[in-house]
Structure formats: C-alpha cells, structure tokens
Structure 1
C-alpha cells in the first residue's frame, strides 16, 4: 500500500509500505547534463510515486535505454512506526567504478532490525562519473562521481528527518569501489558535520588516482574517439561508442602503465585537495569511528576472471618495483611455505599486497592519530555462487551484509540470484549484521571484551567465521617478512635521499 506523502526539498514523495517497513525508491536527489556538475532536480508539487527503483547509471550491458540525467536517485527504507529519530546508514555501492547500482541492495531487513533508516544511492559510473576532462575545456568535469555522492549526502542530511532518520547520526558505508568513494567523501571539508561514522569494506589499496594519470586516461579516450581537437564534442557521443572507446583504452592502460587503473577518485586539487589517507593520518578525522573490513581471499575472483583482472599484473608489478625481484621471490617462497591446504599462495600474497595490508595501514594511521578504529576479516564461505566455488573472495561479506535472513537477496543489476542460506551462513550473517547495526547506532561494533578497539600494540583483527574470534594482526612469519622488507626499503630510500 502507498505510504503517506513525505515532504522533501524538491517536493512530496510517496513510497510503499509492507511488513512494517516503508520504502521510497528512485527518489531524485539531483540531475546533471553529461560531464557537468549535479544540480538540484526540477521541483514538483504533486506527490511523486517512488515505489519502484529509478534509472541506474549507464554501464556496460545497460547503455541502449540509459537515462543519464535520471540516474541520480536514491532509495530509502525506514520502519513504518518510529518513536524517535533513528540512525542512518548511507551506502555507496561498488562495481570497479563502472557497474552496479543501489537497486542491488534491499535495505528493508536492516531497517527493521536496526531499527535504522537505510539509504542506497546511484551515482555516475565509468567515463560519465570519472573521466577527468576539466583540463580539456570541460571545466566542471572532474570527480563528478564524488560530487554526485556528496550531493546525495547533502540531500539526505537535509531531508532524512522527514523519513524518521537522525541527520546528526549518519554513517557512511561502502564496499569495494564504494569504500574508496566513502573514504574520499569523508575527507571533503564540505562533508564535515554531515556524518559521524565510516564503514568501509574492501577498499582497494590505491583508492586515489593522481591527476596526471587521470589526465592521461582522458587524453587517450579523446584520441581514441578522434576528438583531440574538439573535446567538447564528447558530450554528444553515443553512449555505446563512448564506452567502447573507454574499454579499448582500458586494455592499453593495463599493459602500459604502472597502476593499470582507468577510473577512481582523483587527487585533482579542487574537489579532492588532499590524499585521503593523509587526512586520516593527521588526525583531522580522529573524532570519527572507523570500521575497516576485507575478505580473506579477495583476489580469487579476479584471478578466475577471463582474462584475469588487470590488477593481478599491476599488483605483482608494484610489489616487484618496491622490493625488487629478490624481495618478490622471498615473499612468494614464504607464502608457499606457510600456505593452508586450500590456499593459493600467489593469490594470498596479492590479497595481502592489494587489500589487507593497505587497510591495516589505514587502521594504524587512524589509531596513531587518536581515532577509534576496528579491523575485521571475513573468512566465511557463503553457500552462494560465486563464493560456493571460490571461497570468501571479494564481496562475500557484502552478500551477508544485505541478506534477508534466512535468505540471500537477488542482485538484479549484477544478475545474481539469491537463495536460502545454510545454518552457518545465518550464524555468521547475523553476527555481521548485529555488529554493523550496533556500529551504526553506537559507534562501536561490539562490546570491548568480544572485539577490542584496534591499537598499535596488540593490533586485534576480528575474524567473521565459525566461531567469531580475534587474532593478532602483527604475528606470523608473513607479517614479519613484510615488516623486514619494508624497513629495508625505507632505509634504502633514506640513503638515496641523503
């Protein structure tokens, strides 16, 4: 049944009520011309029915019928009966900055069991959100996706009270590319005061791109489209042609550059003026509780893709560049000698290099600056593909994050079916969701005795598995070898500098 109309800064909206939850889907928070900054949507006066998911961002496989301006919308789930302002979870989806959408994440279960208000957003993807064209005559075209995310956060902060949410209790949450977006968004000066907590799952090791590299990507895309002399014409290039050019450039970038990265938040000096990790390290966000998580076998999914993802080659290349070929071989030998029976040592090394170690370093920086931080790893294998065959690889925690116990939910954009959960799935997912909702509500994911706050002496790492348990991050021969190689590399740099 339709809900009572709720007023917003753009006009009234109605959603649908079912099973004690009110859902508002496809609510416009902004609109934008191609390669221009987002602006508020055109206002309306009659109640707007927001009962179905809105258009999601153009992306590979969804280009022919894409509605670019209409993709800037969000979804809200809230308990139907609210007796006090509820904490808000503001979630940014992942998808390598080129795929996905808020429609893949039904927040009804979390809203009911929080209780909390759950928000998922769409933002511009691929070239439409990340191609840096401001140095090529399109002055606004830099970090558009980040600007979209901020516009959504700004809208939520201004309107969420009318949906039962507390605008002063917003937790920024994201997974994978969305985690990179969250980490960058949290450091923007204009976002200060509009959130109070940060939850980031599987943030890539390098979650910020240099302006020079982003400019090189843009130049190559313009060359591929034969628009070097008329860059403004890219605003009218048909989407299939634009995305095909980007795909070709992406293949070249993967083979010819050190990072292999095509898209992501960019240190452009204006929208993102400082390296986000430096902002955490200097204590600017010390008052913001931080939960950082990853999956045990992050890289399995990317190794098994056809062809293997570019990050496989680039991560090995980066480790070799940092520690030399001899250092790489020492690491690989160590991983082979300490591998579990079901573990691929090469994958484990790459997972540590690209995912686990950078997140641990961010945790150390935040803790050293006086911030409260919790670090976790998801070791459970959900009985759902691709995890059933690949183990707790990238996204395994996300599947349990959004589950409607006792079922995994469908992911319509990714075209992944849900299904019934096994008892172990329910056990681990319930613990994960309880920790998440406690973090959203109180700023800590568990009682101190069960999950200690991260500190530089003990470095506790929470393991979501059966059973849930805590291990020291800084023990083991692998950790000691990384520390030894890093110290040797730092000494070398100091000698060269002096």
Structure 2
C-alpha cells in the first residue's frame, strides 16, 4: 500500500509499505547537465510517487534504460513502526566506476532487521562521472561522481529525519569501486561531520588517480572524438558515440595505469585536495570508526574473465617493479609451497598484492593515528554463480550482505538472478548482516571478545565462514617473505639515497 506523503526539501513524496517496511525509490536528490556539477532538483508541491527505481545512470549495456538528465536519485528503506531515530546506512555501489546503480540493492531486509534506515544512491558513471575536462574548458568537469555522492549525502543529512533516520548517525559504506568512493569521500573537508563510521568492502589497492593520468585520459578521448580543437562540443556527443570512444580508449590505456582501471576518484587539488591515505595517516579521521573487508579469492573473477582483466597484468608488473624479478619469483615460490589444495597460488599472490595488503596498510595508518579499525575477510563460497564455480571471489560478501534470507536477491543492472540459499549461506550471511547492522548501530561489528579491534602487534583478522573465527594477520611464511622483501627494498633505497 502507499504511504502517507513525507515532506522533503524538494517537495512531498509518497512511497510504498510492505511487511512493515516503507520504501521510497527513485527520489531525485539532484540534477546536472552533462559535465556540470549537480544542483538541487526543481521543487514540486503535489505529492510525488516514488515507488519505482529511478533511471539508471548511463552505462554500457544499459544506454537504452538510462536517462542522463534524471539519473541522480536515491532509494530509502525504513521500518514503518520506528519509535526512535534510527541509524542510517548510506551505501555507494561498485562496478569499476562504469556500471551499477542503487537498484541492485534492495535494503528492505536490512532495514527490518536493524532496525535501521538504508539508503542506496545513483551517481554518474564512466565518462559522465569521471572524465576530467576542467583543464579543457569545461570548468566544472572534475570529480563529478564524487560531487554527486556529496550531494546525495547532503540530501540525506537534510531529510532523513523525516523518514525516521538519525542524521547524526550516518555510516558511509560501499563495495569495490563504491568502497574507493567511500574512502575518498570520508577524507574530504566537505564531508566532515556528516558521518560517524565507514565500511569499505573490497576497496582496490589504489583508491585515487593522479591528475596527470586523468588529464591524459581526457586528451585521448577528445582526440578519439576528433574534438581536440573544440572540447566543449563533447557535451553534445550522442551517448552511444561517447561511450564507444571511451571503451576504445580504455582498452588501449588499461595496461598503462597503476590499477588496471581507467577511471576513479582523482587527486585534483580542489574536490579531492589530499591523498586519502595521507589524511587517515595524519589522524584527521581518528574519531571515525572503520571496518575494512575483502574476499579471500578476490582476483579469481578477474583471472577468469575473457580476456583476463588488465589489473592482473598491472599487479604483477607493479610487484616486479617493487621487488625485482627475483623478488617476484621468491614470492610465487612461497605461495606455491604454502597453497591449499583448492588454491591457485598465482591468484592468491595477486589478491594479496592488489586487495588484502593495501587494506591492511590502510588499517595500520588509521590505528597508528589513534583510530579504531576492524578487519575482515570473507572465505565462504556462496551457492550462487559466479561464486559457486569461482569461490569467494570479488563480490561474494556483497551478495550475502544484501540477501533477503533465505534467498539471494536479483540484480537487475548486473543481470544476475538470485536464488535459494543453502543453510551454510544463511548462517554466514546472517552473521555478516548482523555484524554490519551492529556496526551501524553501535560502532562495534561483534562482541569485543569474539572479534577484537585491529591493533599494532596483534592485527586480528576476522574470517567470515563456517565457523566464524579469528586469525592473526601478521603470521605465516607469506607474511614473512613480504616483510623481508619490503625491508630489503627499503635498505636498497636508503643506500641509493646515501650515495
């Protein structure tokens, strides 16, 4: 049934109520012309029906379902019978910065079981959200996706109390590219005081792009479109033509990047003034509670893509550059010698290099600056493709987090069907969901004695599997060989600096 109208800063909206949860979908939080910053949408006076997801942000495979002018919308799920202001989970979707949307994440189950208010958002993707054109005459075209996300956060802060949420108890959360967005967003002066916790699942090893890289991408796209002499005309290029040019440039450029991806938040000096890891290290965010998670076999999905993703080649190249060919071979030998019977040593090495070790380093930065961190790894294999055949690879935790027990949910944008969960799926997913909701509510993801916080010397890692258990991160042959290679590299650097 329809809800009563809820007033917002733009106008009243009506949602739908089912099973004790009110859902408001496709709520406009901003509008933006192409390559311009988001601004508040035009207001309305009559109640606006918000019962269906809004238009997708333009992206490959969905240009026919996209609406460039009205894609900046968000979705809210809130318990109908809340008797107090509830904590808010603000979720930023992933998709390599080029795909995805809030419609893939139905927050009704989490809202009911929190209780909590769940918000998912759309932001501009691919060239529309990440192409840096401010050095080419389009003054506002820098970090537009980050600006979109900030606009959504501001809308939530201004309006969420009307939906039963507590604007002073917002947890930023995201997965994959969304986790990179959250880490960058958390460090911005514009976001200061607007959230109290952050949850990042599977943040890539490098969350930020250099301004020079972003400028190079922009130049190549303009050249591909034959617009180098008239960059402003890119605002009128038809979407299929723009995205096709971007795909061609991306294929040529991917191997030249530090992360194997063409897009991402950019250290532009204005929207993002500082390297995010430096902000964590200096202690500016020491009062922010942080949960960092990853999946055990992150790289399996990318190794099995056709052709294998560029980040595979880039990660190996970066490790060889850091430690030399001899160091790479030594690492690979240790991984082969210590591999589980079902483990691909090459995949495990790349997963550690690109995903697990950078997240642990970020945790160490935050802890050293006085912050509190919990670190987790998802080791369970969900009975759902692609995880059933590839193991706990990238996104396995996300599938369980958003499940409506006892079923996985459909993902319309990813074009992935849900399905029934096994008892093991339900057990692990329930633990993950309870941990996230407890973190959103109290700042602690589990009982302190069951999952202690990350601390220097101890470095506990929570393993989400059957059974849930804790292992020390800083033990084992693999950790030691990384540490030895790192010390050796530092010694050589000091020798070079000493002359």
Q: How does the TM-score come out when normalised to structure 1?
A: 0.99
Residue 342 of structure 2 corresponds to 342
Structure 1 residues 37-90: Cα deviation after superposition (integer angstroms, max 9, x where no partner) = 000000000000000000010000111352112100000000011100000000
Structure 1 residues 383-440: Cα deviation after superposition (integer angstroms, max 9, x where no partner) = 0000000000000000000000111000011010001100000000000000000000
In structure 2, distance between residues paired with 1:231 and 1:146: 22
Mapped contact 2:58–2:124 kept (Cα < 8 A): yes
Q: Which secondary structure does the structure 2 equivalent of 1:149 belong to?
A: helix
Residue 272 of structure 2 corresponds to 272
Following TM superposition, by how much is the alpha carbon of 1:497 offset from its aligned partner in structure 2, in angstroms? 2.3
Q: Indicate yes or no: 2:224 matched with 1:224.
A: yes
Structure 1 residues 162-201: Cα deviation after superposition (integer angstroms, max 9, x where no partner) = 0000000000000000000000000010111110000000
Q: Which secondary structure does the structure 1 equivalent of 2:349 belong to?
A: helix
Residue 417 of structure 1 corresponds to 417
Mapped contact 1:292–1:363 kept (Cα < 8 A): yes
In structure 2, distance between residues paired with 1:146 and 1:40: 15
In structure 2, distance between residues paired with 1:491 and 1:467: 41
Q: Which secondary structure does the structure 2 equivalent of 1:17 belong to?
A: strand
Mapped contact 2:78–2:163 kept (Cα < 8 A): yes
In structure 2, distance between residues paired with 1:28 and 1:260: 33
Q: Which secondary structure does the structure 2 equivalent of 1:51 belong to?
A: coil
Structure 1 residues 207-250: Cα deviation after superposition (integer angstroms, max 9, x where no partner) = 00000011001111111111100000000101111111111111
Residue 378 of structure 2 corresponds to 378
Mapped contact 2:372–2:453 kept (Cα < 8 A): yes
Alignment map for 1:167-316 (pairs within 5 Å): 167-316=167-316
In structure 2, distance between residues paired with 1:171 and 1:116: 11
Structure 1 residues 338-379: Cα deviation after superposition (integer angstroms, max 9, x where no partner) = 110000000000000000000000001111111010000000
Mapped contact 2:205–2:259 kept (Cα < 8 A): no
Following TM superposition, by how much is the alpha carbon of 1:257 offset from its aligned partner in structure 2, in angstroms? 4.6
Q: Which secondary structure does the structure 2 equivalent of 1:70 belong to?
A: coil
Alignment map for 1:309-324 (pairs within 5 Å): 309-324=309-324
In structure 1, distance between residues paired with 2:65 and 2:75: 21
Gaps of 5+ in 1: none
Residue 130 of structure 2 corresponds to 130
Mapped contact 1:258–1:317 kept (Cα < 8 A): no
Structure 1 residues 241-290: Cα deviation after superposition (integer angstroms, max 9, x where no partner) = 11111111111112445543310000000000000011011110000000
In structure 2, distance between residues paired with 1:238 and 1:314: 32
Q: Which secondary structure does the structure 1 equivalent of 2:119 belong to?
A: strand
Q: Which secondary structure does the structure 1 equivalent of 2:171 belong to?
A: strand
User: Structure 1 residues 258 and 407, CA, compared in 2 at 3 Å: closer, same or farther?
Assistant: closer
In structure 2, distance between residues paired with 1:176 and 1:145: 15
Residue 56 of structure 1 corresponds to 56
Residue 406 of structure 2 corresponds to 406
Residue 483 of structure 1 corresponds to 483
Q: Indicate yes or no: 2:390 matched with 1:390.
A: yes
Mapped contact 1:31–1:40 kept (Cα < 8 A): yes
Structure 1 residues 307-352: Cα deviation after superposition (integer angstroms, max 9, x where no partner) = 1101000000100111111111101111111110000000000000
Q: Which secondary structure does the structure 1 equivalent of 2:168 belong to?
A: strand
Q: Indicate yes or no: 2:321 matched with 1:351.
A: no
Mapped contact 2:56–2:65 kept (Cα < 8 A): no
Q: Indicate yes or no: 2:33 matched with 1:33.
A: yes
How many equivalent pairs are there?
Answer: 498
Alignment map for 1:52-201 (pairs within 5 Å): 52-201=52-201
Residue 363 of structure 2 corresponds to 363
Residue 467 of structure 2 corresponds to 467
In structure 1, distance between residues paired with 2:197 and 2:285: 10
Q: Which secondary structure does the structure 1 equivalent of 2:70 belong to?
A: helix
In structure 2, distance between residues paired with 1:479 and 1:257: 27
Mapped contact 1:10–1:44 kept (Cα < 8 A): yes
Structure 1 residues 118-172: Cα deviation after superposition (integer angstroms, max 9, x where no partner) = 0000000000000000011101000000000000000000000000000000000
Following TM superposition, by how much is the alpha carbon of 1:21 offset from its aligned partner in structure 2, in angstroms? 0.3
Mapped contact 2:107–2:402 kept (Cα < 8 A): yes
Residue 455 of structure 1 corresponds to 455
In structure 1, distance between residues paired with 2:485 and 2:297: 23
Q: Which secondary structure does the structure 1 equivalent of 2:427 belong to?
A: helix
In structure 2, distance between residues paired with 1:10 and 1:330: 60
In structure 2, distance between residues paired with 1:66 and 1:230: 27
In structure 1, distance between residues paired with 2:44 and 2:368: 49
Alignment map for 1:426-437 (pairs within 5 Å): 426-437=426-437
Q: Which secondary structure does the structure 2 equivalent of 1:71 belong to?
A: coil
In structure 2, distance between residues paired with 1:296 and 1:197: 24
In structure 1, distance between residues paired with 2:195 and 2:254: 36
In structure 1, distance between residues paired with 2:444 and 2:145: 29
Q: Which secondary structure does the structure 1 equivalent of 2:399 belong to?
A: helix
In structure 2, distance between residues paired with 1:231 and 1:78: 44
